[in-house]
Structure 1
C-alpha cells in the first residue's frame, strides 16, 4: 500500500551526506519548507573525504557550524613538499591567506556528517533515513516523489523542487536522464588511516614526498598519532588487498628515508581507480544536482566534497529567492551557469596534478613537478594557495562592471575588519547564506539614503526586510569616540579607513554582497545603475534570457 503525504514541501533533498545536510541547513535558514531523505539507515563513520578548505569553513561559519568542526579537527597551516631524499622543495603556507581560517582542516567525513546532522536537527528537521527515492512524476511545477522504506513500505511526497545530493550513483540523475560523462584513471590510489609512531616531521602539518619512480607519498594528520597515508601503484585495484596496501606503504616509507617509522593497525584502508565524471546539466526544470550527483572529482586535489558543499550554498539562496520573492527563472539557470564551469576547472586542475604525480610521460612529469620550486616565488605562491583555499573560484561578471583592486563582481568578498559601536561586525554570519548585504562607504556627510538613493527602496521591496540589509560604513579613529557618533542600527565603523584602503575601495563606493559571500555588484559615486542592474538580473534575468515563468 502506498500512502501520500499531503504536507506541503517546497524542496525535497535526496541524500543526507555532508552536501545534502548543508543544503537542508541553508534552506531552513531561508525559511524554506524542506524534507531530506536518505536510502541508508545511518551515515558511514569512516574518514573518507577529510579535508575542508578555508572557503568551505566560511560557508560553515555562515551556518554556525564551523566552531564545532574546528574543535573536532586539526588545522594544517602548511603543505611541505620534499624530494625523495627529504630535501625541501617548497612550502605552501596558508597562513598568508586573509580571513579567519588560514589552513586546511583535517576532519573525518563521519564527524562532518555528524555535526551537520545535529545542525539539521536543531533546525527542527528530522532526516528520514532508510528511505530511498524510486521515481518522480512531474506535473508542471509539481514533483510527486515516490519513496520506498527499508521495510518496503512506499509513500509519495509532493515538492516544488527536488535536489539530488545522492552521490556518484545518483538515482535523481538517472531519473532526469542527465548524461554523466568522464573517465576512470588507470593508476590505483591507495589510502590508509593508520597509527604511526616515530614520524620525524611536524605532526599537524601536511607532508608530500615526490618519488623518482613516478608516485608520491602524502602524509595527512588526523589526531597527532593517527595519520592518513596516500600513494599510488600500477597494480589493478581489483588485485590490491589490505595486506598489499600496508606492504606498499612500508616500501614507500623506506624509499623516502623513513625507516624509523612504525605503522600500527589501520582504522580504514581503501584502494580505487580515481574517476572524474560530470553531468551535462546540473538542472532539469525543477530538479537539480549537487555534489557527486553532479560531478565526481579525483581525490588528488582534495576539493571534491568542498565543491559539493559550495554547490549547496550557491543553490540554497537562489531557490529561496524564487520561492519567496518570485525571482526570475533565469536565477535558477545561473546555478548551472556558475557551478558547472567550477567543476570543469577543477577537472583540469586535478588532471594536471595527476600528470605531476604519476604521469607516464617522464619529461612532462618532471617539468610539472619543477613547479613546486616556484612556491618560493611570491606571486606563484599566492596563486597556489588561492586555488587550495578555493578563494580563487569566481563567476562571470557583467560587461562593464566597476572593479577595484580587490573587490570585483563575481568574486568572493574579501574579509574586512568592520565594527559596530558595541563590537566586531561578522559579515559572514550576517549573510548567513540567506541575506544580501549592502555596504556603502560614506564620506563625511553621507547617509545611507544619500549614497544608495532610490535603489534602497527597490531592494527593500523586492528582497524583503529579512533578506536584505544596508549598512553605511563610516571612517572614524575610534568606535568609542562620542563626538559625531553615527546613528542607527545599520551604521558600521571602519577604523581610520583601513578596511576601505585594504580593499582598494573609494569613498562613496557601494558594494552588494550576495548571500553566499560573492560580490554581486559594485557601484561608484558617478552612477548607481549597477545596483539596479543587479536586481534586474535576479528578478528578470540577463538581457538575452527568456524566463520560463
Structure 2
C-alpha cells in the first residue's frame, strides 16, 4: 500500500467511517479496513440525533441526510391503544439547534453517504480485510492485516483505532474488560408497513397489559417496530413476520395492522462498557467501547461523537501541534459519558420491560401524569431534548476545561466543556448568521468580542493566537445592534473571547480580555 498510514482504523461501520471522514478533512493519512465484503445492507441503527446532524452539517453533507431521511417531530406515549402524552420534540428544540427533530434513516444509507464522502476525497475502505495481530512500542503500532485475496501484509501506523463493533478483536487483543450484562429478554426488530390512523412523522412508545412496542417512522412509508417476542415463539432460533404479526394487535391492545415486511430479526439487548478507551497508541470507539439498550436510540450517535472527539486530537498530535495530554482527554471525556449513558439507558430499559406490578402501574398510570406536569416546565422540556439529542453532553471535568474561564459570568452563560450553543445574530450587512456555522472543524476557533477600542487587549489576543496560527482561526465580532443578543447569550459585557474546539465544544472563555490568562491556558495542551 505504499507509505504507511498515520492512523489505522479497524472497522468500517458508522464510527470507523466517521473517523475516516474527519481525518480526511484534517489531512491525516489513514487506512480503514473492514472484514466484511461491503457496507451493511440491513437497516440496523435508525435514529440520527441533532448532535450528529450538526457534524454532517459541518462536513457539508447534512442536506443529503435530510433528503433521504424521515423527520420525526414528536414522541407519543401510548397506553392500551390511546395517546396518554405527546412530547413535541420540534417545539422543545427549536431554539436549541438548527435540527430540532429525530432523523430516521437506515444505517445502510448512513454508511453509504459516508463512503461516498470518502470517495469524493480520494479515499476508500479496504473491504474483506481483517486485523490478524498487532504490537505496539513507544513510537508505532505494527499490525498484520489479511486481505481475502491478497493475503497477509504487515503495516505500521502511528496510531490504531478499534471501531470494530461489540465483538471487537482490537479490544480483545488489548485485554480490556467489557463489563456489563445481557438482558434475558428476547426482542424483535421489524421493518414493515403499519396501517393505522396516526401521523407518520411521529414516534410511538406503546404499552399494553401484555406487551410493549416502539414504533419509529421510516422513509418510503415504512415503520421500524421494536418489541417483545411472543412467549410461544421465544425459543425459536429465527422468527418470521408471521410469528410477530399473529395476534399483534390484540397483544398491543391497538387498532393496528402490519404488512409488507422488509427485514426482521431477533436479538438480546446488552449494556456494557470498557474500563478504558486507550492503551498506549491504541484506542477504542463506538460499539467496541460501549453498547446499551435501544432506549433513546443512542448507540450509533454515541459512536459518531466518539470519532468526532478523537479525530482532531489525533490530527493535532500528528502535526506536532498538541501535547500528549490532548490524547488523554479522549478517554477522560468519553468514558464518563459512556458510563452515564449505559446506566441511564439500563434503568430506563429495566423500567420498560419489568414485570414488577408496581413498575407496571408506574408505566401505565403514573408516568403519563408525571410527563404532563414535567412538559409544562420549560426547563424540563429543554432538559429532555438536550439529553435525547446529545447536544447536552458536557465535558466540564475534562483537563481541557480546567482553568479555562476568566472574569465573572452569569450562571446561565455557556461554560468550557459545553457545546457551543445555537445562536443566530446579524452582521453589519444585516445578514442572519448561525454562530456554529463559523466553526469549520479543522482548527480551534477564537471568537474575540470587542468594542473596537484601540486600548483593548484585542490585538494582544490575536497575536497570541498567531503563534498557533496553524491550529487557531481568529475572528473578531464587534458589538453592533445585530450582535447584541450574541453578546448577551454568551455573557460578554463589553469585551471578551470564546475559544471553540473543532468538535463544537467550548474550550475557553473570558469576560474581559486578559492575554496572559489565555496564553497560560493554551500552553497546557498546545505546542507553539
1:511 alignment counterpart: 498
Match for residue 9 of structure 2 among 2, 13, 22: 13
C-alpha RMSD over aligned residues? 2.3
Instruction: Please tell me whether the aligned partners of residues 46 and 104 of structure 2 are also in contact (alpha carbons under 8 angstroms).
Output: yes
Residue 375 (structure 1) shift: 4.1
2:456 alignment counterpart: 450
Match for residue 143 of structure 1 among 138, 141, 151: 141
Taking structure 1 as the reference length, what is the TM-score of the superposition?
0.87
Residue 452 (structure 1) shift: 3.9
Q: Structure 2 regions of 5+ residues with no counterpart?
A: none
Change (3 A) 1:8 1:454: farther
Q: Give the stretch that moved more between structures: 352-361 or 498-507.
A: 498-507
Show the 5 A alignment for 1:170-319.
Answer: 170-197=168-195, 199-213=196-210, 215-223=211-219, 225-233=221-229, 235=231, 238-239=235-236, 241-243=238-240, 246-259=242-255, 261-319=256-314
Change (3 A) 1:429 1:116: farther
Match for residue 421 of structure 2 among 400, 409, 414: 414
1:25 corresponds to 2:21: yes
Instruction: Please tell me whether the aligned partners of residues 79 and 206 of structure 1 are also in contact (alpha carbons under 8 angstroms).
Output: yes
Figure out how many residues of one structure are paired with residues of the other and give that number.
511
1:115 alignment counterpart: 113
**Can you list the C-alpha shifts for 1:261-298, whole angstroms capped at 9, x where unaligned?**
33223111111110111111111111111101111122
Match for residue 61 of structure 2 among 38, 41, 65: 65
Instruction: Please tell me whether the aligned partners of residues 90 and 374 of structure 1 are also in contact (alpha carbons under 8 angstroms).
Output: no
Taking structure 2 as the reference length, what is the TM-score of the superposition?
0.91
Residue 115 (structure 1) shift: 0.2
2:383 alignment counterpart: 383
CA distance in 1, matches of 2:169, 2:266: 25
Change (3 A) 1:512 1:270: same
2:519 alignment counterpart: 532
Residue 453 (structure 1) shift: 4.5
Q: Give the stretch that moved more between structures: 375-384 or 64-73.
A: 375-384
Instruction: Please tell me whether the aligned partners of residues 237 and 272 of structure 1 are also in contact (alpha carbons under 8 angstroms).
Output: no
CA distance in 1, matches of 2:442, 2:279: 24
2:128 alignment counterpart: 130
Q: Secondary structure of the equivalent of 2:525? A: helix
1:91 corresponds to 2:78: no
1:74 corresponds to 2:82: no
CA distance in 1, matches of 2:157, 2:425: 41
CA distance in 2, matches of 1:516, 1:434: 9
CA distance in 2, matches of 1:419, 1:145: 52
Q: Secondary structure of the equivalent of 1:113? A: helix
Residue 356 (structure 1) shift: 2.5
Change (3 A) 1:323 1:452: farther
Instruction: Please tell me whether the aligned partners of residues 440 and 502 of structure 2 are also in contact (alpha carbons under 8 angstroms).
Output: yes
Instruction: Please tell me whether the aligned partners of residues 90 and 376 of structure 1 are also in contact (alpha carbons under 8 angstroms).
Output: no
CA distance in 1, matches of 2:510, 2:465: 14
**Can you list the C-alpha shifts for 1:8-50, whole angstroms capped at 9, x where unaligned?**
3111111111111111111111111111111111111211001
CA distance in 2, matches of 1:99, 1:185: 34
CA distance in 1, matches of 2:490, 2:52: 22
Q: Structure 1 regions of 5+ residues with no counterpart?
A: 478-494, 541-549
